[in-house]
Amino acid sequence: MESALIVIDFINDIVHPQGKIPSCADQVNQNKVIENANQAIAWARQKGHLLIFVKVGFQSSYQDVPVWSPMFGKAGEIGALDLSGWGTAFHDALDVQPSDLVVVKPRVNPFHNTSLDSILRANRISSVYLCGVSTSWAIQSATRDAHDRDYKVNIICDACAAHSAEEHQTSLNMLERIASLWQSGTLEDT
């Protein structure tokens, strides 16, 4: 079985305390989520798994923002998620290399209007491992979509975070019906 690790939205605007919308920054910091993600990244590199980094963002003009969206509609007003700026750069602590594959998504779901599915299929991937933020939005969306595309889905729980510990756990409780749950330290068993 060919596997891929998909690392989602560890960008400054979301996970850095000085980001424009740091909804997950506290939980990421308190729970060492980036360190756990780096452990998963090291595991994927060592195993030779496909590694894909995903980030959400919009053009500087914000003409591609869905203005009706409660989540994204005000991005232009506050200067958030601008693909040309610091806010959509991956957090400095994340082990992303210049040669790593990066997919930019225009919405919550990393499969929506991106090349993600084509990349996975071109590499004959049948099993995906997910980590990132937020568990209640991007991870839930990716898990559900990947499941319905017939991928075997695995979530690296301690390498994910949401706005609160409760929101994170509630999401995992729902998703365990369609995904396997892992800790970054147990990936060596796979």
Indicate whether 63 belongs to any domain: no
- Residue 38 placed within a domain: yes
**Quick check: is 64 in a domain?**
no
Q: Mean of the pLDDT values across residues 118-122?
A: 98
Check residue 135 and report its DSSP letter.
I
Q: Tell me which residue of 56, 32, 165 sits closest to 107, measured CA to CA.
A: 56
- Let me know if residue 78 belongs to a domain: no
- The answer to whether residue 167 sits within a structural domain is yes
Mean pLDDT of 51-56: 98
CATH number at residue 134: 3.40.50.850
Domain containing residue 167: 3-56+87-189
Percent of the chain with pLDDT over 70: 99
Taking all residues of the chain, what is their mean pLDDT, rounded to a whole number?
A: 97
- Cα–Cα separations (whole angstroms), residue 80 to 10, 37, 61: 14, 24, 12
Please, which residues bridge with residue 104 across strands? 55
Q: Does some domain include residue 71? A: no
Number of domains making up the chain? 1
Average pLDDT over residues 26-47: 98
Average pLDDT estimate for 118-133:
98
Region 151-180: mean pLDDT is: 98
* pLDDT at position 106: 97
The whole-number average pLDDT for the span 2-6 is 97
In a domain, 118, yes or no: yes
Confidence of residue 1 (pLDDT cuts 50, 70, 90): low
Residue 153 belongs to a domain: yes
